[in-house]
């Protein structure tokens, strides 16, 4: 066995520097040098309070501080956004209190938070396809949180619920970013998370969307997607939260170990299974985790401008590949519903699977 330096034996500073260096290297586009104050860029940082996004905030906060110290200005500013996915008022209160703590600790940045139900107001979504009333009609009826609960509750499985919720979350983030003139979204996803995502999206029939889900660069939404933590493992970031000073751990909400997830439970999702799977792979084979991400990042999106956007996730759907019917695996010659006219939008395979079961 080769000597593997034990992390606890390392100089703590070294480890934190390692984590920060790997992250900052990915932020090279946002250096101060060469930029003028005028085009200081605004970047949206989605903060879930988990170890990864919290670490990203801490690292970039220090990065910006360093830029100020050296050049008296910074190459970018952060707009930190928390999306409340829990609908319970008590959870919401906890979340807003926690966000206040972040604000006071990293006071340089602007903060905002939104409930996921705000996604119901988005007009880029084909609400008819989801069988829920659009923003205009629904305004006066039930409260938005209830409508969201109803929408998610109507899904046929826990996986579909989680899938639709995360799709709405992405669309809401994009919308918030655009309305606040952000150039890019800095996702706090680690290598491990991106590997999970590669397999999760594959398992949900969203293989076509991988080029936009794991690679840095322009997204089809007309805004950049960046993953500055893409070279760090989740376990490294968890370690970072307790080693950085002052420690972040007290601000972070850690997920429970997923080892007791059972595939026979009704509430278990595909996402849960992948988290569990990569937790064990990361433990023993960290390079394989990184290799999965390198591999999926090699996939190239097909260039075709005439592709319609999916009515729910908004990603381009190649002609004739929409929906779950009418492809080889459907094996039923007359299952593809006839389209009367073009007024119906298309749904991609993955969204269609979640909605139609």
Partner 1 sequence: MAPALCAICNDSRALIIRPKNHQKLCKACFVAIFEAEIHHTITTTSLFSPGDRIAIGASGGKDSTVLASVLKTLNERYNYGLDLVLLSIDEGIKGYRDDSLETVKRNAVQYDMPLKIVGYDELYGWTMDQVVEAIGKKSNCTYCGVFRRQALDRGAKMLGIKHVVTGHNADDVAETILMNLLRGDLPRLARSTNIVTGDESSEVRRSKPLKYAYEKEIVLYAHHKKLDYFTTECLYSPEAFRGSARSLIKNLERVRPSAILDVVRSGEDMAKLVPEQVTGISQCKSQKVSLSSADGEEEGAGGCGTNGRDSGGEMADMEKKLKEDEKASSREVDITSAVSSQTSGQRHDRIPIKPESGKTRKQESSRKLTRQTLGTCKKCGYMSSQEVCKACVLLEGLNKNRPMIEIEVDAADEESSTLRRNMEGLALAAG
Distance of CA 136 to the CA centre of its chain: 28
CB of 353 to partner 1, least distance (A): 6
Per-residue b or e along 212-230, where b marks 16 or more CB atoms closer than 10 Å to that residue's CB: bbbbbeebbbebbbbbbbb
Structure tokens at 310: 């999916």
In the complex with partner 1, the residue whose CB is nearer, 61 or 201, is 201
CB of 77 to partner 1, least distance (A): 26
In the complex with partner 1, the residue whose CB is nearer, 14 or 253, is 14
Cis (ω within 30 of 0) for the bond into 246? yes
Q: How far is it, in rounded angstroms, from Cα 289 to Cα 191? A: 7
In the complex with partner 1, the residue whose CB is nearer, 13 or 93, is 13
CB of 80 to partner 1, least distance (A): 27
In the complex with partner 1, the residue whose CB is nearer, 47 or 310, is 310
In the complex with partner 1, the residue whose CB is nearer, 133 or 286, is 286
In the complex with partner 1, the residue whose CB is nearer, 122 or 203, is 203
CB of 306 to partner 1, least distance (A): 16
CB of 44 to partner 1, least distance (A): 27
Q: How far is it, in rounded angstroms, from Cα 138 to Cα 132? A: 9
Q: Regarding beta strands 224-226 and 217-218, do their DSSP bridges make them parallel or antiparallel, or are they unpaired? A: antiparallel
CB of 143 to partner 1, least distance (A): 31
Give the helix/strand (H/E) hosting 185: strand 184-186
Q: How many CA atoms lie within 13 A of 198 on its CB side?
A: 24
Structure tokens at 328: 């080889």
- The region, left, alpha or beta by phi > 0 then psi within -120 to 50, assigned to residue 168 is alpha
In the complex with partner 1, the residue whose CB is nearer, 10 or 253, is 10
Cβ-defined contacts of 11-17 (< 8 Å, 24+)? 12/243, 15/239, 15/240, 15/243, 16/240, 16/243, 16/244, 16/245
CB of 32 to partner 1, least distance (A): 21
Residues of this chain that interact with partner 1 (CB under 8 A) are 1-5, 7, 10, 14-15, 17-18, 21, 157-160, 198-199, 201-208, 210-211, 263-264, 268-270, 273, 277, 284-288, 290-292, 294-296, 298-302, 321, 324, 327-329, 331-333, 349-350, 353, 357
In the complex with partner 1, the residue whose CB is nearer, 68 or 327, is 327
- The region, left, alpha or beta by phi > 0 then psi within -120 to 50, assigned to residue 355 is alpha
CB of 349 to partner 1, least distance (A): 6
The length of the chain in residues reads 357
């Amino acid at each position: 066995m080769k000597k593997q330096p034990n992390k606890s034996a390392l100089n703590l500073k070294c480890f934190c520097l390692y984590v920060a260096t790997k992250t900052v290297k990915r932020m090279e586009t946002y250096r101060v040098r060469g930029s003028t104050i005028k085009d200081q860029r605004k970047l949206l940082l989605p903060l879930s309070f988990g170890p990864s996004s919290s670490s990203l905030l801490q690292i970039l906060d220090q990065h910006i501080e360093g830029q100020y110290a050296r050049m008296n200005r910074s190459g970018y500013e952060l707009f930190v956004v928390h999306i409340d996915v829990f609908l319970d008022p008590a959870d919401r209160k906890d979340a807003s209190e926690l966000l206040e703590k972040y604000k006071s600790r990293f006071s340089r940045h602007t903060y905002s938070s939104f409930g996921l139900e705000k996604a119901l107001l988005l007009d880029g979504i084909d609400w008819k396809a989801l069988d829920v009333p659009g923003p205009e009609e629904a305004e006066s009826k039930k409260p938005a949180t209830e409508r969201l609960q109803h929408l998610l509750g109507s899904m046929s499985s826990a996986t579909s619920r989680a899938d639709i919720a995360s799709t709405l979350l992405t669309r809401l983030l994009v919308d918030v970013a655009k309305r606040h003139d952000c150039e890019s979204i800095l996702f706090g996803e680690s290598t491990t998370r991106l590997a999970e995502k590669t397999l999760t999206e594959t398992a949900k029939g969203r293989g076509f969307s991988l080029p936009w889900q794991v690679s840095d660069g322009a997204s089809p939404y007309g805004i950049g997607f960046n993953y500055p933590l893409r070279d760090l493992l989740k376990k490294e970031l968890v370690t970072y939260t307790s080693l950085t000073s002052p420690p972040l751990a007290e601000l972070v909400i850690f997920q429970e170990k997923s080892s007791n997830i059972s595939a026979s439970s009704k509430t278990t999702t595909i996402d849960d299974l992948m988290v569990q799977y990569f937790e064990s792979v990361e433990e023993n084979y960290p390079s394989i985790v990184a290799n999965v991400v390198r591999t999926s990042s090699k996939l190239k999106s097909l260039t075709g401008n005439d592709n319609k956007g999916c009515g729910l996730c908004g990603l381009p759907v190649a002609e004739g590949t929409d929906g779950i019917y009418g492809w080889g695996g459907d094996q039923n010659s007359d299952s593809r519903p006839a389209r009367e006219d073009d007024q119906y939008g298309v749904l991609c395979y993955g969204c269609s699977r979640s909605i139609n079961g």
